[in-house]
Structure 1
């Protein structure tokens, strides 16, 4: 009854996102959850942030199993695709004003 009400009132995407994010460790397992975390779930596209580029590659290979496990757990086809991102580098942008160009790299020489 609750699933029917949620789907009729257009909150199914938010409920799926909250379930995946809130139960991430339970859904994918402790080992996998230690090395990645969900970043966004929009229109069935789940983006995962990996702790290293090696884990991002591993997640790309495990993507079909992750999709199947999440959809089995939720009982719907909430996730259609998994995209894995490696760790992001530091940002050199500080403040509101920016000058085009290479930035601080030219002062290291």
Structure 2
């Protein structure tokens, strides 16, 4: 329903698109340049390793949040966001989940107002 797309949901959706396009632009460059993706990721010095650990911890915490919130709100197929992040990027799937979560919350508010 169109009225479930709140401004916040649209912001999350836009961030999801930016995350997908941004990460896959660099993934495509790595493929075209025949780079060793994981070698570059883990072997390019302490600064890159620090960023890697930082992002991995955030991705794990975000994945836990996805499962907990999806269960709390009755959102089905939450596991697809986590699996999808391995196939695309967490920068895409996490904001996408937040957008769908916001839609679910808006749906609940509308149902409560109509009741």
Q: TM-score with structure 2 length normalisation?
A: 0.28
Greater strand fraction, Structure 1 or Structure 2:
1
Is the radius of gyration larger for structure 1 or structure 2?
1
Greater helix fraction, Structure 1 or Structure 2:
2
Q: TM-score with structure 1 length normalisation?
A: 0.29
